[in-house]
Chains A and B, each alone.
Chain A
Amino acid sequence: MSGVHPVADWSTDFDVLDPGYVADPFTIWDDLRSTCPVAHTGRRGSTWLPTRYDDVVDLAHDIDHFSSTQISVIPVAGGSPPEGERILRYGVPPISADPPLHTWTRRLLLPWFSHRRVEGYQAMTAELCGRLLDGFSGRGRADAAGDYAQQIPVRVIAAILGVPGSLADTFTGWVRDVLEFADDPERRRRGSQALVEYFVDEVARRRSEPGDDLLSDLLGSEVDGVPIEDSVVLGIAALVLIAGVGTTWSVIGSSLWHLATHAEDRRRLVAEPDLMPFAVEELLRAYSPVTMARVVTEDVEFRGCPMKAGDKVLVNFPGANRDPAAFEEADSVVLDRAVNRHVAFGSGIHRCAGSNLARMELRVALEEWLARIPDFSLENGAQVTWAGGQVRGPRQLPVVFE
């Protein structure tokens, strides 16, 4: 990220990979909202950045002008897509699709993340968190991001997909290659290729030995009497892994960062566990990890901005959730916030298909941590590092406790 050219004017030349933006985008959004609510940049192609809640929601709902066929916040450098992405002829639906492909692929996926199913994953998640805490709670210090947050969603998702949890570190590595090193085309190419090749083998194996898992279910599914193509199955599998791993771990990490640096909130949450459901929504609002992109389908004027066909728009859900026009005390975490129409999981037809799972994982991860380690803080002189771009969250979070 050291290669980012310094930004002098955020309204006309923004850069989401700027280290200052990655560390603290909040003050930049606040400035833009009052001076230039839809910012623009020519870096990595013509791209727009809305910062107001109403604008972001309107963009997400206008699927005719803003297509999901290009969702990468950072386009692949160098033109041709990675080999792995070429095997995925249909992208990673439903997130990278417009109707009608979006509609039927989403219907295949949703039941796996329904309330009822997610309740069934809860005991496994709590047990997993307990095991991780067993590993470091006696040591007085831990990397709350690397030793804890990063370890949780990947194992739950592996169980749902029916792939071994023992490969968690490998999966995490691929997901990071794809999501966090988008400006390093070689690394991104390697990650996406390895991930797709892994699932090609897994699909072949399940054709002969189906199991009770999402991959097998997809392979056995028919749409209008026709089995779905392998490239669609591979795309959905890649999506579930990438979106199910990199996002939830980020918000678990950000929430632990908040609690490590805001002792009053931490003590209150320990003393008033009934606040947890509201606190989970509030932490999701304040530290929404995910920004998605859209591509403009035809020239359109949006809030006075002349958007051209082919331009990118960043659907800035994290920024929308900090808009003071939509939330009182938008830049404060209010644990018992009663009215909270946050859009951390998006808005409109692409509402995160895994939102029930993500909420459960965040709640259980915080409950289990606080039950075992109610009092913790950042290590003195700690180097907290953040990833940004498509997904924002801490990647190194050294904390100390009794």
Chain B
Amino acid sequence: MPVSGLTLLIVATLLSNARIAISYIFSLLAAISLGVKAGLDTRAEKVVIPVVDVLQSTPVMGFFPIAVYILVSLFPGWLGWEVASIFLVFTSQAWNMILGVYQSTKTLPGDLLVMSKVYDVSGLPFIRRIALPAAVPSLIYNSMVSWGGSWFFVTASEIISLGSKQHKLLGLGSMMADSAINADYGMLAASVAAMIASMLVVMLFVWNPLLARSGRYGFGPEARLDVYSVDVLVDLLSRISRRISDLLSPISTTATLVGKVVYETFRRILPALALLVAVWAIIVNASGITMGLEAIASPLLAISASLATLFTLGRLTLAYMISMAWILPLSLALMRRRHLYMLSLTSAEILSGIPATIWYPLVIIAIARYGLPPDLGAVLLLVTGMQWYIFFNAMCGIRSVPEEVETMSKVYGVKGRLYMRKVLLPAMLPYLVTGSNAGWGGAWNATIIAEYIMGRGFNYFVYGLGGLITLSTLKGEVAALVFYVIWMAAVVVLLNRTLWARLYGYVAEKVRVEV
């Protein structure tokens, strides 16, 4: 590889990482401010949680052009494109982190809440001393999922088309795309390697030391993690992590200040924003809307949407069952095999980071060649869009089994399925609920790729809500697109109000220990 190519690769790697990091800082602020607020204040909860649910499930990629259009006109020159890219990455990172903080705040032990009330510990001291430390474990694990998942979006957002304009940002994503088009397989391999190396570095130098130190936070036992035990490395890591935990305090201060502003603006501009998008859609696509309205007037669209919802729900349920089928037994296995725990986390972090766009077309081709059922591909992709949220939250959950209970189980020989049912599952429950909620959100989001994909020489479509959304995007039927997206949002809200809200309530009641 020529030197200039190597320099370019290094710069691209740094830039892609920087986009993820900048977006991550915003996600962290949003998570701490909105998550704590929603966990404590039932009024805020009723606004924040449904909005998060809709936003995490809405196929952002579908709306990305609108966001780009707005951001590019707001910020001058290259800045607009950069902001657009970071914004897209943010939409992939923030939601599960907000939900994680929300869950840990909502399940804070009752005696700590009463204590805080009696001694007037509220506002900033409450966040800094109680809510944030309690959220640390969940925040770290959800950060790991978010960081991994960001790679899909950062690579996708580095080539942005807006109408006839196409803008390319220097980064690993655009390098991968370029080298694939130019058939420069050396460069392609190098950029994929650079991406995997980036993930490893972040895992080793950020998440790993943070995990090792997170044992003192949360309500689980002290850290029992076997962090890679190279003494020099551990020493170095713990020194770095001490720096990082020092950083936590200014971050939480900022978060509280930003939190108020974010939450208030959030609440106020939301209706305005919805209106703006609607107006934009109408102005740009007036004719399309009229056509679409006629289509809606005919009950056909609603019928097709209902039918598609059923199909998609079926695939999602299947994907959920597949995810649970490997995650639960693995949790049980890892609970007692601590030495494999960090290894699994690292592997999962890397696997979760590999963008689906790289391997999904291959799966589709294989399905076509071997005459497998077409639904298999879609379900497989949905699994990958769903499982990591559940997996990382489950990994956080297995650390929350109290030490005494663990000892008791060992003494009385409680193991296997009994242990799973009576000890591990109840302890993991809050984390599983959060992971499942975020996982379903991610999977709804993934349906637009899973159910419709176009490749060189093939066209893959399975009937479902996500497929219909992609199809109407491609055909330029804006009205139908808006209709399907709103329909999907409605389905998600309905499911959340009936299913997840109940589960959270149930879990909060079960887990909270009243004095």
**A and B together in one complex:** no
